[in-house]
């Protein structure tokens, strides 16, 4: 028999103790009556009975009512002590509850036909069991509550207050994240295994506190990696397995998309489906492009068998893709996967030129404007403090020098025409007309170009620093080269597009500006020298991961959106663009396709996807044992010892006594 008092403090119990005393005093008290004149002697006997004693108190007489009232108060007082019984169970007085909140805990705890399960998830079942264990705690016991998925969170530090533990338990919620129990074990380790002041073996080594053994109560399905290089020490583990071994689950464990290099309008999509259940399963896998169904495939897998799917679709733009398994099973989060193609980036380009209409037209084509924000300045700007700060900060993604050169090279990529950018470069010939004889079409800057028909009236051959790569060879030597510089790239063209005659009038130096290859060349320069590459596969992260992405320096802030069904987007707030164009996104708990949208123009500047993609998390069969540190812990009975409470029966007895007392009272008055 154990007792859990419902009242705290001394004065409530003092008030309760005064109740039976007050009842007894009421039976000593005699009501004073006023003398009454009656017209008949018939009432004398009853009047004389009430006037026998003139004092305040009278003798206490045998009374069934008094006995029943005192007994009712006594039973109510005992009920407030919450008497109960539980079997013999060893307790160290301190408990650490570890509650698994990972994605696999969303699976059913058992069959919906089993008594007591009723479709309850594993997380709900684990929370219920912890709540029952908290109810059985005595005043001498204390506990702490720690939740864990891919990270641990102490929901409640050690306390003997059961209400605080229940409140902390109510705040717990299941997540979409994978499982890593090591952080939770380290949180519990601080109590049972106190640290020392120095390394073991040091003569001055002092243990900072006494070891305090504790019960480690792990409520999980065991679907996490074995914990190595960790010692439980004074922690005594108990693994309460929540779930069952008979499961049904098909999972998407990979999903990606990429453009065909030979045909940029064609997108190749790949996926891997895994059967983690105990029986053969079949389903339809449906592929959606921007919320529209574009393809589907049938899947039939044996247990632990996996298969790959591939799709080919046509789309010239950056797209959002979703793959869905059309079958309901024990875990829904791995039945959908998301992928996307990132949009071409909007880059910042500074153009330093004394005036070049052909260059201006090439940089303002519709395609170039979609990926670049260009600003033109005169060569005199190179001598200003504003340029020095701009160049040293690396604000621009690319600087184009047209027939001019800076005093020192900027902290970014450069493209120089008709001039050498620094002393590391030099001319190797005098100005002369030239003919192009060889072009390196494998380099991204010259891809898709045909330049043999170009006429160049005046140009020179160039020689770059060691390691420079020749891109265009002329009859007088290299006339276009590219070289690396401290992590940046410098592209140099040995002839200008325009020149000035003796009178200062601008004249054409080549017919390139009139060729279709000229805007294509500038577009290639923007994509590969400024970083505005064509849309590529968007990266995928797991739920809860912090996403770090680099955007264009021209942006100051972006809005983070998550695409939901129906083509709608949910805004997750605005994020500032930090130094170097870095953006940090932390709200990634929900799977889906995410967009980073320019706050001023509503243009999508980047995408990424969030998916579970964890085969271990998708394997839902409960583990019969887990490896914690250097110890193998077998699963204990999922049911816990429930305390048998007696106070409810005592309150029913009090109610029955009050009914009996009322019956005696009414009979006495009759």
> 226 pLDDT exceeds 60?
yes
> What burial class does residue 29 get, using C-beta atoms within 10 Å of its C-beta: 0-12 exposed, 13-18 middle, 19+ buried?
exposed
- The predicted pLDDT at position 205 comes to 45
* CB neighbour list of residue 434: distance below 8 Å, 6 or more residues apart: 456, 459, 461, 474, 475, 476, 479, 495
Residue 342 lies in a domain: no
For residue 662, pLDDT beyond 90? no
Kindly report, residue by residue over 279-303, the tens digit of the pLDDT. Answer: 999 999 999 988 889 999 999 999 9
Q: Same domain for 118 and 179? A: yes
Predicted confidence band at 84 (pLDDT cuts at 50, 70, 90)? low
Question: Is the pLDDT score of 269 beyond 50?
Answer: yes
Same-domain status, 155 and 232: yes
Indicate whether 465 and 590 sit together in one domain: no
526/346 Cα distance (integer angstroms): 10
111 vs 221, more confident: 221
The 8-class DSSP code of residue 566 comes to G
- Do 427 and 506 fall into the same domain? yes
Mean pLDDT of the chain: 82
Same domain, 53 and 113: no
Confidence at 12, pLDDT banded by 50, 70, 90: low
Mean pLDDT check: name the lowest of 15-24, 28-37, 447-456, 590-599.
Answer: 28-37
- The CATH number given to whatever domain includes residue 638 is 3.40.50.410
**Are residues 356 and 500 located together in one domain of the fold?**
yes
| Residue range 546-587, pLDDT digits in tens | 998 877 656 788 899 998 765 678 899 888 888 767 888 999
Task: Kindly state the tokens that stand for 661.
Answer: 């007392």
The pLDDT of residue 648:
73
Please calculate the CA angle 189-195-196 and round it to the nearest 5 degrees: 160
The residue ranking higher by pLDDT, 359 or 188, is 359
For residues 531 and 538, give the distance between their C-alpha atoms in angstroms, rounded to a whole number: 15
Give mean pLDDT, residues 246-251: 93
Residue 180, both tokens:
């890593």
483 domain residue, yes or no: yes
pLDDT number for residue 303: 94
Which one of 475, 506, 528 terminates a domain?
Answer: 528
Contacts with 462 (C-beta within 8 Å, 6 or more apart), sequence order: 420, 425, 426, 427, 428, 477, 478, 479, 480, 481, 492, 494
- DSSP string across 358-384: HHHHHHTSHHHHHHEEEEEE-GGGGGS
Asked if residue 269 and residue 235 are part of one domain, the reply reads no
In a domain, 329, yes or no: yes
Q: Indicate the burial class of 503 (C-beta count within 10 angstroms; 0-12, 13-18, 19 or more).
A: exposed
Provide the token pair at 229: 């290089």
DSSP letters spanning 102-148:
SGGGGSBSS-TTSTTTTT-BHHHHHHHHHHHHHHT--TT-EEEEEEE
Confidence of residue 199 (pLDDT cuts 50, 70, 90): very low
- In SS3 terms, 208-221 reads as CCCCCCEEEEEEEC
Domain count for the chain:
5
- Please indicate, yes or no, if residue 647 is contained in any of the structural domains: no
- Of the two residues 572 and 644, the one the predictor is more confident about is 572
Tens of pLDDT, residues 504-555: 788 899 999 888 889 989 988 988 888 765 557 888 999 999 998 877 656 7
Domain's final residue, options 479, 504, 528: 528
Q: What is the pLDDT of residues 416-473, one digit of tens each?
A: 999 999 999 999 999 999 999 999 888 888 877 888 888 999 999 999 999 899 999 9
What is the structure's pLDDT at 106?
94
CB 253 within 8 A of CB 333: no
How much is the pLDDT for 652? 81
The verdict on 390 and 523 lying in the same domain is yes
359 occurs within a structural domain: yes
Residue 273, pLDDT > 50, answer yes
**What pLDDT does residue 577 have?**
85
240 contacts 224 by C-beta, under 8 angstroms:
no
Sole residue written with tokens 């419902």: 6
Three-class HEC string of 213-244: CEEEEEEECCCCCCCCCCCCCCEEEEEEECCC
* Residue 395 counted as domain residue: yes
Specify the pLDDT at position 493: 95
Write the CATH number for 495. Answer: 3.40.50.880
Residue 426 is part of which domain span? Answer: 347-528
Classify residue 89: in a domain, yes or no.
Answer: no
Helices 11-28, 64-80: axis angle to 10 degrees equals 180
- How much of the chain exceeds pLDDT 90, in percent? 43
The answer on 187 and 241 residing in a single domain is yes
Q: How many residues does the chain have?
A: 670
Q: Are 204 and 604 in contact (CB under 8 A)?
A: no
Q: Is a pLDDT exceeding 50 seen at residue 378?
A: yes
569-576/557-563 β-pairing: antiparallel
268: exposed, middle or buried (Cβ count in 10 Å: 0-12, 13-18, 19+)? middle
C-alpha to C-alpha distance for 101 and 150, rounded to whole angstroms: 9
Beta bridge partners of 96: 144, 216
> Do 116 and 140 sit in the same domain of this protein?
yes
For the question of whether the overall pTM of this predicted structure is more than 0.85, the answer is: no
* Euclidean distance between CA atoms 628 and 151, whole angstroms: 17
Residues 476 and 582 in one domain: no
Residue 160, judged by CB atoms within 10 A of its CB (0-12, 13-18, 19+), counts as middle
Are residue 291 and residue 375 in the same domain, yes or no? no
User: Does 594 have pLDDT greater than 90?
Assistant: yes
CATH number at 550 reads 2.60.40
Burial tier of 612 (Cβ tally within 10 Å: 0-12, 13-18, 19+)? buried
* CATH number, residue 330: 2.60.40.10
In a domain, 535, yes or no: no
Asked whether the predicted pLDDT for residue 306 surpasses 90, the reply is: yes
């Amino acid at each position: 028999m154990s007792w859990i008092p419902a009242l705290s403090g001394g004065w409530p119990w003092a008030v309760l103790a005064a109740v039976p005393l007050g009842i007894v005093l009421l039976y000593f008290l005699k009501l004073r009556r006023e003398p009454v004149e009656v017209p008949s002697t018939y009432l004398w006997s009853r009047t004389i009975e009430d006037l026998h004693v003139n004092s305040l108190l009278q003798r206490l007489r045998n009374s069934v009512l008094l006995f029943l009232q005192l007994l009712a108060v006594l039973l109510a007082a005992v009920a407030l002590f919450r008497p109960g019984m539980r079997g013999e169970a060893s307790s160290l007085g301190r408990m650490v509850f570890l509650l698994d909140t990972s994605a696999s805990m969303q699976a059913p705890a058992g069959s919906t036909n089993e008594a007591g399960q009723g479709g309850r998830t594993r997380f709900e079942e684990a929370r219920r069991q912890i709540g029952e264990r908290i109810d059985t705690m005595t005043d001498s016991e204390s506990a702490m509550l720690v939740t864990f998925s891919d990270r641990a969170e102490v929901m409640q530090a050690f306390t003997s207050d059961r209400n605080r533990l229940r409140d902390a338990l109510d705040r717990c919620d299941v997540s979409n994240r994978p499982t890593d129990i090591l952080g939770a074990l380290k949180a519990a380790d601080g109590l049972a295994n106190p640290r020392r002041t120095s390394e073991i073996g040091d003569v001055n080594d002092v243990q900072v506190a006494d070891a305090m053994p504790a019960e480690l109560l792990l409520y999980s399905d065991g679907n996490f990696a074995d914990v190595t290089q960790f010692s439980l020490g004074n922690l005594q583990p108990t693994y309460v397995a929540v779930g069952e071994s008979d499961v049904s689950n098909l999972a998407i464990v990979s999903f990606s998309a990429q453009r065909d290099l030979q045909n940029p309008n064609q997108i190749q999509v790949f996926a891997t489906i895994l059967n983690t259940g105990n029986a053969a399963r079949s389903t339809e896998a449906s592929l959606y492009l921007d919320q529209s169904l574009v393809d589907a495939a049938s899947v039939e897998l044996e247990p632990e068998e996996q298969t790959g799917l591939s799709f080919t679709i046509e789309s010239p733009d950056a797209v959002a893709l979703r793959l869905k398994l059309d079958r309901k099973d024990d875990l829904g989060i791995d039945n959908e996967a998301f992928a996307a193609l990132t949009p071409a980036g909007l880059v910042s380009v500074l153009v330093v030129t004394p005036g070049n209409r052909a260059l201006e037209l090439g940089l303002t084509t519709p395609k170039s404007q979609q990926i670049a924000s260009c600003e033109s300045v005169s060569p005199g700007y190179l001598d200003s403090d504003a340029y020095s700060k701009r160049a040293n900060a690396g604000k621009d993604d690319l600087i184009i020098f047209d027939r001019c050169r800076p005093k020192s090279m900027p902290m970014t990529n450069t493209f120089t025409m008709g001039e050498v950018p620094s002393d590391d470069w030099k001319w190797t010939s005098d100005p002369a007309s030239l003919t192009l004889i060889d072009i390196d079409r494998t380099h991204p800057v010259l891809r898709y170009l045909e330049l043999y028909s170009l006429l160049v009236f005046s140009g020179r051959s160039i020689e770059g620093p060691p390691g420079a790569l020749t891109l265009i060879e002329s009859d007088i030597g290299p006339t276009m080269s590219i070289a690396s510089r401290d992590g940046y790239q410098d592209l140099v063209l040995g002839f200008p597009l325009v020149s000035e005659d003796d009178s200062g009038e601008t004249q054409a130096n080549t017919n390139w500006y009139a060729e279709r290859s000229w805007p294509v060349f500038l577009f290639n320069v923007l994509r590969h020298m400024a970083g505005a590459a064509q849309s590529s596969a968007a990266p995928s992260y797991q739920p809860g991961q912090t996403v770090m992405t680099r955007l264009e320096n021209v942006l100051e802030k972006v809005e983070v959106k998550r695409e939901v069904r129906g083509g709608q987007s949910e805004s997750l707030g605005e994020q500032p663009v930090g130094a170097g164009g870095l953006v940090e996104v932390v709200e990634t708990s929900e799977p889906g396709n995410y967009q980073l949208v320019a706050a001023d123009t509503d243009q999508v500047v980047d995408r990424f996807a969030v998916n579970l993609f964890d085969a271990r998390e998708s394997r839902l069969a409960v583990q019969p044992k887990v490896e914690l540190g250097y110890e193998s812990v077998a699963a204990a009975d999922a049911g816990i010892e429930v305390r048998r409470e007696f106070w409810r029966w005592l309150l029913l007895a009090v109610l029955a006594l009050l009914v009996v007392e009322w019956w005696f009272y009414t009979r006495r008055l009759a």
